[in-house]
Amino acid sequence: MRYTDEYRKKELILAIAEELKKISKKTITLMEVCGGHTMAIHRFGLHSLLPPTIRLLSGPGCPVCVSSQHFLDTAIAYSKIPGAIITTYGDLVRVPGSVSSLEKEKANGEDIRIIYSVLEALEIAKNNPGSAVFFLGIGFETTAPATAAAIVEAKTENINNFFVLSAHKVMPPVMKALVDEGVKIDGFIAPGHVSAITGTAIYNDLALEYGLGVVVSGFEPVDMMQAILMLALQLESGTPKVEIQYKRIVNPEGNKIAQGLLTQVFEQKDDRWRGLGIICNSGLKIRKDFAAFDAEKQYPITVPEPSDPKGCICGSILRGLKTPNDCGLFATTCTPSDPVGACMVSGEGTCATFYKYRS
Amino acid sequence: MKPKEEKILLSHGNGGLMMHDLIDNLFIKHFGNKILEEQTDSAILPIESREVAFTTDSFVIDPLFFPGGNIGKLAVCGTVNDLAVSGAEPRYLSVSFIIEEGFPMHDLEAIVKSLAEEARNAQVTIVTGDTKVVNKGKCDKLFINTSGIGIVRKADNLVGKAQNIEPGDVIIINGTIGDHGMAVMNARESFNFKSAIISDCASLNHLIRDVLDQTQGVKFMRDPTRGGVATVLNELAGKINLGIEISETALPVSTGVKAMCEILGFEPLHIANEGKVLIVADQDAGGQILEIMKKNKLGLQSAIIGRVTGDHPRKVVLKTETGGRRIIDSLTGDPLPRIC
């Protein structure tokens, strides 16, 4: 298949692995921030190709995993409003809230619909003028512009029954928070799709102030191996900087139209992250101009403060401090068919990835 | 003659004149055969075998029509294949319809025609049936149940049971995987993928008969429908207490299915098939079986995709295209698309 086969060539991967072995002298720790990267590393068995000097940590970049229990409890509360239709991306439906999940509420008769694009939610709102249609907005700078576009369209078309519950998040603050907390990281493999939107300037602080390497990477095995090689070269020569490996998609300026939509509709807020607590300026809330589409403004609901499930170490896993193998629940009481923590629920979660690709 | 009404009414299921209009002018017209035409409460079937295989399946697919087939064709293939992989020669089918009030008659006729055509193609006779009509909203358009009876020869009565499987045995499939599941999903959701992914929905009894008649060494057969190839192989590995190793490069997957799976984050091994059979056979017989399968138009892309091994008992391991190895689990829950 074009555009994937070229980037999965065994000979190319092995050649990069060989080069890495040659140049890698210092012991370094790299964090792959994105869940998609964690998937690729395990799916293609890249760990086994790295020299012992290079250690990879999985970061907090799976949007489903970092969505707080509080967010799910709120979504479930919305589903119980008479006439409400909840629209959501598929992998959120099995995530456990405090006592239930959207999947269970669907079986109880609540109207919960899986969609593939936020524009479908808008269509559903148009076709069901008598219902309040809620869209569960999760994801980083990658998915947030689509949500923003839908909100702008709803305003243009005067759709008055479309509401977004925003748990959208931005990437850089959590990366800085992890380093500030003392997690030992020398460089980041940064998510390519985020930078396709934002460009690369968002990481300049990490390189200039924190002295960390950042390479924006694609998601195929050749991409990831090359990104690791680029980081290793930076760190060996003591010149950490922001570089782009994923040049076929990312340019330094990013997508100006998407950036415009983001600032038009959203502003930054302090936000909750599952397992990490509240991180300053790490979330996106809907601006006042678009309050008519803000679920929290139009249907204010308070749900009780949830507590983390007993024995679950998702928080430490999302910080890169522990791996799923350190968890007493992993692959025993916590499995993809009966998940305890969020890292097991999403296909991109670190625990689910470790489970799926264990050997 | 055609049924008089353009839509199904509750009266079509009430046992009266309208129902007889439907039976005579739709069902008997298309399914017609001596046994069915008797219209007795039970079909009396001549059987020349001491052992019969008996199976049943219900079909509730959305959408009813999809590229490569419809619920009628599927209702025949599904039951015929369940009989065939048990080593039986499918002979007789029952067909029951549960129809939602208001269902368009021309759609029902198209489905019935296609069902009849597939039954002729598979050489099975529809000998009994039933029709119920339920109030609007009480079922989703149309459900079909088919049950089937097949005759079993002594030599073949073990192929569904996975006995005598040992390390070194080969695993064969008759073509590309995941086509049915992706074709139906593409038709159901509004992805607008331009690639024409076509369901593999087909009756496999002739292909399977050729293999069983002309070779020895088949130890197990199963049609990997919902849950896909991965789920069948995991069940098998558990049952025989041995490991199974499959090779990603040997696995036939069409470009369309591969691309759609990449975009949605699915694993082709977890996607449903409706015209595929997995065969486990003695390694010495593998080549000959493959040759016979490739002569059938439903087996042109047949391939040996893996082996049974004494390593990693009860686990299915995939050798990846990049040289890694990973465990393939059964499907958990419905396949759900990932956010990014």
Residue A98 to residue B105: CA distance in whole angstroms = 48
Q: What is the mean pLDDT of residues B123-149?
A: 96
Are residues A194 and A244 in contact, defined by beta-carbon separation less than 8 angstroms?
no
Chain B nearest C-alpha distance from A25 (Å): 25
Q: Is B192 on the interface with A (CB under 8 A)?
A: no
User: What's the first-to-final CA gap in chain B, in angstroms?
Assistant: 54
pLDDT at B334 over 70: no
Residue A189 to residue A191: CA distance in whole angstroms = 7
User: What would the pLDDT profile of A207-219 be if each residue is shown by its tens digit?
Assistant: 999 999 999 999 9
A54 in helix, strand or coil?
strand
Matching residue, tokens 């097949």: B150
Asked which of A8-22, A335-349, B226-240 is least confident by mean pLDDT, the reply is A335-349
Contact list in B for residue A357 (CB cut-off 8 A) is: 326-327
pLDDT at A176 over 90: yes
User: Hey, how many other C-beta atoms are within 10 angstroms of the C-beta on A208?
Assistant: 12
Are residues A50 and A19 in contact, defined by beta-carbon separation less than 8 angstroms?
no
Q: What is the pLDDT of residue A343?
A: 84
Phi, psi angles (nearest 5°) of residue A287:
-65, 160
Asked which of A168-172, A305-309, B145-149, B297-301 is least confident by mean pLDDT, the reply is A305-309
CA-derived radius of gyration, chain A: 21
Q: What's the pLDDT band for A223 if we cut at 50, 70, 90?
A: very high
Are residues A52 and A282 in contact, defined by beta-carbon separation less than 8 angstroms?
no
HEC string of B233-262 equals: HHHHHHHHCCEEEEECCCCCCCHHHHHHHH
- The residue among B214 and A310 whose pLDDT is bigger is B214
Q: Do B340 and A346 touch (CB under 8 A)?
A: no
pLDDT, chain B, mean? 92
Q: What is the pLDDT of residue B338?
A: 60
Q: Is A156 on the interface with B (CB under 8 A)?
A: no
Are residues A191 and A61 in contact, defined by beta-carbon separation less than 8 angstroms?
yes
Widest Cα–Cα separation across chain B: 67
Strand locations in A174-273 (E): 187-191, 213-217, 242-244, 266-273
Q: What is the mean pLDDT of residues A92-107?
A: 89
Question: What is this structure's pTM?
Answer: 0.85
Q: What is the pLDDT of residue A27?
A: 96
Q: Is A13 on the interface with B (CB under 8 A)?
A: yes
CA distances (Å), A278 to each of A271, A273, A295, A318, in order?
Answer: 5, 6, 21, 14
Contact list in B for residue A4 (CB cut-off 8 A) is: 258, 262
pLDDT, chain A, mean? 92
Q: What's the pLDDT band for B339 if we cut at 50, 70, 90?
A: low
Q: Please give the share of chain B, as a percent, with pLDDT higher than 70.
A: 97
Residue B121 to residue B202: CA distance in whole angstroms = 10
Residue B246 to residue B236: CA distance in whole angstroms = 13
Q: What's the pLDDT band for B337 if we cut at 50, 70, 90?
A: low
Q: What is the pLDDT of residue B163?
A: 87
User: Hey, how many other C-beta atoms are within 10 angstroms of the C-beta on B162?
Assistant: 16
Residue B39 to residue A177: CA distance in whole angstroms = 76
Are residues A264 and A284 in contact, defined by beta-carbon separation less than 8 angstroms?
no
